[in-house]
């Protein structure tokens, strides 16, 4: 096995995922650029390599069990372990619907990527993460998943009644805590990251923050020291309320 840490970032061919991969790569981590589209993943990996980053494209559709199993097998064959898993891949399908007009199918599709796929990927890669000296799992959540923040009628999230997306991120926070609790007493730390409202394809580039700014908290959580937290929800400003 190589001494360099190895990280998989899902949905890393663009946006916040790409900047997380870049941040980890600049810190000396070998980065696997997870992408559903092989060509886009390869292009992203080439861009990172041009900056001196050790990056390899890894084709993986997080909603497809066969694809996830194949990706895990490739990581094991090439590296023998995984030090960092960043579950970044996510979708936002709502465009102005109120909760009362939300088709259940949109909720199902949103949870399939934002929640179920995170469990699928984490379970498939946990044996490799356990082989690492001090593995880190980071789940990309959102302030919109905070029940405290979204239930405040005067708060910044009140204008965003996104039933499917918000509920999926609340569920993801619960998933994060469940894994952290199971892995207490091991060297694996599991946390959720709130990147803030960033300009990405997800929101039509409406956010005021850059993807690089949003990536910073995930990079920090992915490289936590031994005395770092687990079972937490963090933005760049510190702990977020659940």
Tokens 């490799």, located at residue: 128
Check whether 52 has a pLDDT greater than 90. yes
What is the pLDDT averaged over residues 48-61? Answer: 98
Residue 194, pLDDT above cutoff 90: yes
- Report residue 110's pLDDT band, with 50, 70 and 90 as the boundaries: very high
The C-alpha atoms of residue 181 and residue 32 are separated, in whole angstroms, by 27
Instruction: Examine the pLDDT at 67 and tell me if it is beyond 60.
Output: yes
Find the angle CA(38)-CA(39)-CA(40) to the nearest 5 degrees. 95
Beta strands in the chain (DSSP E): 6-9, 30-35, 55-59, 84-87, 136-140, 189-193, 232-235, 238-239
Tokens of 123: 């379970």
- Say what the pLDDT of residue 211 is: 78
Nearest CA to 68 out of 122, 135, 16 is that of 122
State CA 65 to chain mean position distance: 18
Entry pTM: 0.95
Q: 58 vs 154, which has greater pLDDT?
A: 58
Mean pLDDT score, 1-13: 89
Domain residue ranges in the chain: 6-239
Q: Are 35 and 44 in contact (CB under 8 A)?
A: yes
Question: Percentage of the chain with pLDDT > 70?
Answer: 95
Q: Which CATH class is domain 6-239?
A: alpha beta
Contact (CB, 8 A) for 18 and 211:
yes
**How confident is residue 188, by pLDDT bands cut at 50, 70 and 90?**
very high
Model confidence over 74-91: pLDDT tens digits? 999 999 999 999 999 999
- pLDDT for 203 equals 61
Burial class, 164, CB count within 10 angstroms (exposed 0-12 / middle 13-18 / buried 19+): buried
Strand partners, 84: 7, 136
Q: What angle do CA 232, 238, 239 make, to 5 degrees?
A: 35
Mean pLDDT of the chain: 93
**Which of 16, 10, 53 minimizes the C-alpha distance to 34?**
10
pLDDT, residue 88, reads 97
Provide φ and ψ at 220, rounded to 5°.
Answer: -65, -45
CA distance 180 to 158: 29
pLDDT band at residue 180 using 50, 70 and 90 as cut-offs: very high
Q: Looking at per-residue confidence, does 220 or 156 come out higher?
A: 220
C-alpha distances out from residue 205 to 176, 199, 201, Å? 27, 4, 6
Candidates 203, 206, 188; CA nearest to 137 is: 188
pLDDT at residue 209 is higher than 80? no
State the pLDDT at residue 215. Answer: 92
Are 1 and 81 within 8 A, CB to CB? yes
- The confidence band for 1, taking pLDDT boundaries of 50, 70 and 90, is low
List strand residue ranges (DSSP E) for 172-224, in order: 189-193
Q: How many residues does the chain have?
A: 242
* Token pair for 147: 């029940």
């Amino acid at each position: 096995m190589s001494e360099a840490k190895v990280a998989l970032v899902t949905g890393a061919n663009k946006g916040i995922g790409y900047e997380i991969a870049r941040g980890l790569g600049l810190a000396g981590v070998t980065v696997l650029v997870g992408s559903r589209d092989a060509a886009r993943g390869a292009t992203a990996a080439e861009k990172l390599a041009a900056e001196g980053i050790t990056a390899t494209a890894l084709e993986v559709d997080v909603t497809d069990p066969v694809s996830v199993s194949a990706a895990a097998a490739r990581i094991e064959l090439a590296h023998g372990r995984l030090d960092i898993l960043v579950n970044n891949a996510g979708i936002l399908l709502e465009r102005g619907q109120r909760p009362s007009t939300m088709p259940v199918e949109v909720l199902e599709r949103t949870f399939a990527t934002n929640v179920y796929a995170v469990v699928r990927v984490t379970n498939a890669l946990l044996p490799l993460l356990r082989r690492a000296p001090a593995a880190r799992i980071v789940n990309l959540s959102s302030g919109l998943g905070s029940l405290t923040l979204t239930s405040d009628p005067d708060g910044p999230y009140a204008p965003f009644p996104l039933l499917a997306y918000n509920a999926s991120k609340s569920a993801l926070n619960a998933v994060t805590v469940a894994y952290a609790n199971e892995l207490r007493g091991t060297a694996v730390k599991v946390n959720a990251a709130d990147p803030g409202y960033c300009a990405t394809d997800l929101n039509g580039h409406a956010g005021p923050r850059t993807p690089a700014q949003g990536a910073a908290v995930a990079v920090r959580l992915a490289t936590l020291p031994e005395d770092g937290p687990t079972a937490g929800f963090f933005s760049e400003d510190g702990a977020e309320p659940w």
